[in-house]
Amino acid sequence: MVVSKAWTLRQHFQGFPKASDFHLREETLPQPKNGQVLLEAVFLSVDPYMRPYSQTMMKEGDVMIGSQVAKVIQSYNPSFPVGCHVVSDCGWRSHWVCDGAELTPVLPDWPQDIPLSLALGAIGMPGLTALYGLEEVCEIKKGETLLVNAAAGAVGSVVGQIAKIKGCRVVGCAGTDTKVSYLKELGFDQVFNYKTATSLEESLREAAPHGYDCYFENVGGKFSSVVMPQMREYGRIAVCGSISMYNDTTPQTGILSTPQTVILQHTVQHHTTDRYTVHTTDGYTVHTTDGYTVHTTDGYTVHTTDGYTVHTTDGYTVHTTDGYT
Ligand SMILES: NC(=O)c1ccc[n+]([C@@H]2O[C@H](COP(=O)([O-])OP(=O)(O)OC[C@H]3O[C@@H](n4cnc5c(N)ncnc54)[C@H](OP(=O)(O)O)[C@@H]3O)[C@@H](O)[C@H]2O)c1
């Protein structure tokens, strides 16, 4: 018998999540049967979507939703031998018994010098979100100008890198000068700190005087309403997230369409990765239809806090009592 540790949602979040909203409990797992495997967590992810999804998908007392990279430590399923690594959506728990139906194997030839945590970041769901937002929603083309906000995040940093590979001019916004320097290192053409900018409107205009063809939207709220008038004719907006609103206790309201957005015929499409999984048959290397691979050797950051690695979440930390995040 294995005793698993699981982080549960003690109470629904009100405003910004607090440590007291979580509760660590132990659960005794059944012995795996024929066809089943026993998983041990290696990396857990902490993603922004958990904040809004917890409200609709979870009851108080449930184990926190989330993906993890796990190692198979006992196996009665030949598809997942002992020692292999998988991505599982079993939430914030240290161990889990399952039949393998929901598991995605991490590529057996995963390069030694790339952390496995990237299967939850640049080479996983956030990377694919970036890719599909650019290719399927924006249908971005060489020579176009793209704006991405939360640009140093797991999604935004990949968005900018793919757009550069595709020959675009990339403008990014981030909330610290360290992130701004990081984005310049990644090859972004123009980057500014939106928190210290005197005027967001002016900074956006200076970065792209002729406006933006594509806008990869991660932030929502007031930020969007400043960007919209600077979109060019036939501009495309991939709405990936609205992180600035996730902790609001009073929902924001605002104007989505204006005469200008009609005249300039902007396309706005919201998207999630689920819609496009059909294209991800080769696991966690990000391939696209036009044949390039997103390499991540110099385009990611891994933060370590209290002995636990928090993958590319760009400063988001959950503290625990025993080192398990
Ligand atoms: N549609 C999908 O399938 C999908 C998949 C993954 C992610 N997403 C969405 O994509 C967005 C980015 O996710 P991620 O995984 O890249 O996040 P991340 O790595 O955790 O980065 C989040 C960053 O967002 C910025 N941010 C936080 N609060 C903000 C606020 N109030 N106003 C402006 N910026 C704020 C911060 O950067 P600064 O310091 O630069 O402000 C923060 O570090 C989120 O909205 C998320 O929900 C959607």
Instruction: Please check whether residues 18 and 54 belong to one and the same domain.
Output: yes
Residue 246 domain flag:
yes
Instruction: Please check whether residues 176 and 110 belong to one and the same domain.
Output: no
- CB of 155 within 6 A of ligand 1: the answer is yes
Instruction: Please check whether residues 113 and 147 belong to one and the same domain.
Output: no
- CB of 243 within 6 A of ligand 1: the answer is yes
Domain boundary among 69, 94, 121: 121
Instruction: Please check whether residues 136 and 268 belong to one and the same domain.
Output: yes
Q: How many domains does the chain have?
A: 2
Task: Report the nearest-CA residue for atom 37 of ligand 1.
Answer: 150
Range of the domain at 65: 2-121
Other C-beta atoms within 10 Å of 81: how many? 10
Output the CA–CA distances (angstroms, integers) from residue 135 to 21, 42, 257, in the order listed. Answer: 38, 31, 24
- CB of 49 within 6 A of ligand 1: the answer is yes
Round to whole Å and give the CA distance between 284 and 121.
Answer: 10
Domain boundary among 236, 253, 276: 276
pLDDT reported for residue 266: 93
- CB of 32 within 6 A of ligand 1: the answer is no
Domain boundary among 81, 98, 121: 121
Instruction: Please check whether residues 107 and 174 belong to one and the same domain.
Output: no
Residue 300 domain flag:
no
pLDDT reported for residue 315: 34
Looking at the CA of residue 195, tell me the nearest atom of ligand 1. 41
Residue 238 domain flag:
yes
> Could you tell me the CATH number of the domain that includes residue 67?
3.90.180.10
Residue 317 domain flag:
no
Q: How far is the centre of ligand 1, averaged over its atoms, from the C-alpha of 107 (Å)? A: 27
Instruction: Please check whether residues 117 and 131 belong to one and the same domain.
Output: no
Ligand 1 test: best mutation among 136, 155, 225, most atoms within 8 Å of CB? Answer: 155
pLDDT reported for residue 301: 53
Q: Give residue-wise pLDDT tens across range 37-49.
A: 999 999 999 999 9
Instruction: Please check whether residues 139 and 254 belong to one and the same domain.
Output: yes
pLDDT reported for residue 276: 64
Tokens of 136: 């399927």
pLDDT reported for residue 40: 97
pLDDT reported for residue 284: 35
Instruction: Please check whether residues 51 and 16 belong to one and the same domain.
Output: yes
Residue 293 near residue 285, CB atoms below 8 Å: yes
> Could you tell me the CATH number of the domain that includes residue 186?
3.40.50.720
Instruction: Please check whether residues 132 and 262 belong to one and the same domain.
Output: yes
Q: Give residue-wise pLDDT tens across range 133-148.
A: 998 899 999 999 999 9
Residue 304 domain flag:
no
Residue 142 domain flag:
yes
Task: Report the nearest-CA residue for atom 38 of ligand 1.
Answer: 175
Instruction: Please check whether residues 171 and 114 belong to one and the same domain.
Output: no
Instruction: Please check whether residues 136 and 221 belong to one and the same domain.
Output: yes
- CB of 152 within 6 A of ligand 1: the answer is yes
Residue 139 domain flag:
yes
Each residue's pLDDT tens digit in the chain (325 positions)? 899 999 999 999 999 999 999 999 999 999 999 999 999 999 999 999 999 999 999 999 999 999 999 999 999 999 999 999 999 999 999 999 999 998 998 877 788 878 888 889 888 889 889 988 998 899 999 999 999 999 999 999 999 999 998 999 999 999 999 999 999 999 999 999 999 999 999 999 999 999 999 999 999 999 999 999 999 999 999 999 999 999 999 988 877 788 888 899 999 999 887 776 544 333 334 433 333 344 333 445 554 444 443 333 333 333 333 333 3
Ligand 1 test: best mutation among 137, 161, 314, most atoms within 8 Å of CB? Answer: 314
User: For the whole model, what pTM was predicted?
Assistant: 0.88
pLDDT reported for residue 112: 82
Instruction: Please check whether residues 224 and 144 belong to one and the same domain.
Output: yes
Residue 149 domain flag:
yes
